[in-house]
Structure 1
Amino acid sequence: MVVTLQLRQIDVQPGQYLTLREISWAEFEAILNEIGEHRAARIAYYQGVLEIRMPLPEHEINKELIGDMVKLLLDELEMDWEPYGSTTFKRAEMSAGIEPDTCFYIQNSRRMIGKRRLNMSLDPPPDLAIEIDVTSKTQLSAYVALGVPELWCYENGKLQVFLLRDSEYVQVETSPTFANLPAIEGIVQFLKLSETEGASAARKAFRQWVREALILPN
């Protein structure tokens, strides 16, 4: 006997994820429509494998703080940027879809001003995507297929930078987006500060750190 369940009958608890296999592109699109845009869960899809993840509260806190500090960096460096958050990026011909924890258009920011509907066959992928606690090959494969050039992964107090080279991610020590600043070390430092002093104090201290770093001689 084959048992068919609807997604609304399935609960994914915080910190867990559901893996569905042999999901066609049409089924993936139908699932996206069913679960809707206004939800806490994140999805990753690559060549028939669909993962639905439910983040923990600490996951969301780290995501927000890292995203806020990237915005501070961009503003203090007077770089143009467009925020696309956890937008669903999908490309049918690559059988890939992903929802970053947060992401930014930086080098391609001018091309994305005012865009509210994306076509990944024509539009560029985000220049920088950020993920908290990446544990899935499906996620990484989707990022590769979509051609996201820079990916930051934060896990267990470490923030790692990966660049897409020859269809795979290679870890590097510093972000080329913020090549003139020790941005990764600074973000980790002030994430730790937020655990004792709070998010507001950490953001303010990080902004001051960036400003001081920018006036110091190289």
Structure 2
Amino acid sequence: RFEAIEAVFSEVAGIRLSYLEGVVEIMPVSDEHEEIKSTLGCLLEAYLRAKGMRYYVRGGSSLGSKDDSARRQPDESYNIGTKKDRADIAIEVVFTSGGIDKLECYRRFGIPEVWFWQEGSLRLYALRKGAYQQIFISQFLPDLDLGRIVAVANLPDQYDAVTSFMDFLHAGKGTAKESEIDG
């Protein structure tokens, strides 16, 4: 049934669909949502490049199947190090409350880490022993300065946010390559 609904909405711009246990969520996607999603992606990718870490952008492709009884499109998702069948990190930008349990969807998909951006802050969750627990340091990127990410992501201009963060990284802060830069 979800596939039929998904087919109907496939050509409708600005709509994101999710499904969990027979409940379909239809969410409009705003310009503000897309801007912060893109800014977070740019910041994460700048960090990964500065660290010399391989990464693979998986984007917002639908995750899940009938077997999972769930389907969801993350705002962004990444593999760190190598390409894998599932994303290592999924990023969600949240502008509304309620709806389906997003973490439950990701649990069913086996996504190890989920980042939620909501009301100007970032919360991270790691899948441990079959349940998500809030974490304060990324298990994939333990040296990432999340406070700096939040500070620059809250700047009113995307270009300024990314430029500020790149300057921070090139100054040798927040990167393990500091000795190589000074070297």
Say whether 1:177 aligns with 2:112: no
3-state DSSP of counterpart to 1:94: coil
Say whether 1:62 aligns with 2:24: no
Which residues of structure 1 form unaligned runs of 5+?
A: 1-26, 112-123
Larger radius of gyration: 1
Which residues of structure 2 form unaligned runs of 5+?
A: none
Instruction: Show the counterpart of 1:130.
Output: 91
| Distance (Å, rounded) in 2 between the aligned partners of 1:143 and 1:97 | 9
- Quote how far apart the aligned CAs of 1:166 are: 2.0
Q: Deviations along 1:174-212, whole A, 9 cap, x unmatched?
A: 112221232x111111112x31xx211221110121232
C-alpha change, 1:52 and 1:127, in structure 2 (3 Å) is: same
C-alpha change, 1:92 and 1:108, in structure 2 (3 Å) is: farther
Say whether 1:189 aligns with 2:146: no
Residue correspondences, number: 173
Instruction: Show the counterpart of 1:163.
Output: 126
| Distance (Å, rounded) in 2 between the aligned partners of 1:39 and 1:142 | 23
C-alpha change, 1:170 and 1:137, in structure 2 (3 Å) is: farther
C-alpha change, 1:46 and 1:108, in structure 2 (3 Å) is: farther
TM-score by length of 1: 0.74
Instruction: Show the counterpart of 1:202.
Output: 161
3-state DSSP of counterpart to 2:116: strand
Instruction: Show the counterpart of 1:22.
Output: none
- Quote how far apart the aligned CAs of 1:138 are: 3.0
TM-score by length of 2: 0.87
3-state DSSP of counterpart to 2:25: strand
Selected match of 2:71 from 93, 97, 106: 97
In the TM superposition, what are the counterparts of 1:18-167 in structure 2 within 5 Å? 27-36=1-10, 39-109=13-83, 111=84, 124-133=85-94, 135=97, 136-167=99-130
CA contact (8 A) 2:76 2:91 kept: yes
Instruction: Report percent identity of matched pairs.
Output: 27
Higher relative contact order (CA 8 A, sep 6+): 2
Q: Which has the higher strand share?
A: 2
Q: Which has the higher helix share?
A: 1
| Distance (Å, rounded) in 2 between the aligned partners of 1:149 and 1:86 | 16
CA contact (8 A) 1:129 1:148 kept: yes
